[in-house]
Amino acid sequence: MQVNLLNDRISRGNGIAARSIGDWCDVYRPRGNTDPIDGRNHILRLRAAFLPLDGRTKSPVSYGHVTWQGLFDTAYTRPGDYIVRQPSRRGNGDAAVWFIAAQQSLLPSLCVQTSATVSVARMRISTTTGAAAYGGGGALTSISILTGWPAAVSHSMGTGLNPLDLPASVVPGNWEVLLPNIADLVVRTNDRITDEKGRSAIVTAAELSSLGWRVIAKEIAT
């Protein structure tokens, strides 16, 4: 049996299962570098369910679990799409946002559950031109790289930056930030990440793989 035909049947089977156990969700396909789940990026509604990576449902999911097995018809989706589940009832707290990290051949979809909305900025020092072609330092400017993107943000090993450096100061930790592979986006060392809670961190390492961006950042104490 051809691989494409087998993948199509697996996708349809997942869609049938999702119609039985899944919830109605909205799918968004990002365009540009701002607010990927804006209404203009909405492409469809489908039934979707999310299971632990091993597919078992005998025990609840604990802390630090951000990767999930997505159960839905992948004929209509692709890596980088966002799937948004609305709360079943006001106050239930079961609303969630995932992005599709991978739809690998013959395998379940890998999805990442987001926990924050982040923006990425790049700091640059503008230069001024003086007499006799001499240059001088100018103002520090911020260039927006990414604005309003849902991302998985969790704490990783290590310590962050403490600008006060006092003996009694509490040292913040490191972040691990997961984002989809975004067209034309390159995250660099020293980029600044902020979230909707007012926290910020400086990028110390960024890795781009077939699953998307994995960024390590040191939190800045404020």
Supply the mean pLDDT for the chain.
87
Together in a domain, 90 and 122: no
More confident residue, 43 or 161: 43
CA distance 81 to 201: 26
pTM, two decimal places: 0.86
- For residues 177 and 7, what is the distance between their CA atoms, to the nearest angstrom? 31
Residue 12 has pLDDT above 70, yes or no: yes
Q: Which domain holds residue 193?
A: 116-219
The residue among 86, 113, 140 that closes a domain is: 113
Residue 13 sits in the same domain as residue 85: yes
Domain identity same for 43 and 144: no
Assess whether 160 and 79 both reside in one domain. Answer: no
Q: How far apart are CA 147 and CA 30, in angstroms?
A: 12
Of 113, 135, 162, the domain-final residue: 113
Which of 113, 147, 170 is where one domain is finished?
Answer: 113
pLDDT exceeds cutoff 70 at 208: yes
In the chain, the number of structural domains is: 2
Structure-block tokens of residue 132: 């006799």
pLDDT mean over 36-42: 97
Coil vs helix vs strand at 115: coil
Which stretches of 29-162 are DSSP H helices? none
What is the predicted pLDDT for the residue at 168? 53
